[in-house]
Amino acid sequence: MAQVLSERVIVACNNKDCIQNGALYLQARLKEAIAQAHLPLAFDTYKCFGACDYGPNILLYPQLELYSYVTPEDVASIIARVLGGPLPPARLIAELDPESRVDVAEAIELIREDYE
């Protein structure tokens, strides 16, 4: 992960499972929306959040909230949330299995440390 100097960051999973589920297209839409609106936030990728069965996955910083099954149609609500807006649709909050919960918690801690 690249060190991004920003107070607000959208971090996308860049693992092969998320990519197979459309993450690259989603990432392109997120970057495009950020650039077009000249928003005060950054975009970054992470090798894997550990929630491979639930992707594409997005983590918001500073909220440290994981959203799963994210589609390009969710871009506006994801951007609004990282900028302090309301929670995105409930369908984006996956009921993670126990192993994935542990993996996600570890990834979140590493990301938090990286940005703070």
Query: What 3-state DSSP class applies to 43?
Result: strand
Q: Where are the domains of the chain?
A: 9-115
Between residues 115 and 28, the one the model is more confident about: 28
Closest CA to 3 of 42, 29, 47, 30: 42
- Which H or E element spans position 26? helix 23-37
pLDDT per position as a tens digit, 83-105? 899 999 999 999 999 999 999 99
Confidence of residue 37 (pLDDT cuts 50, 70, 90): confident
Q: What is the CA radius of gyration of the chain?
A: 13
The mean predicted confidence, pLDDT, of the chain is: 92
Which residues sit opposite 59 in a β-bridge? Answer: 11, 66
Contact 92, 70 (CB under 8 A): yes
Q: Write the class of the CATH domain 9-115.
A: alpha beta
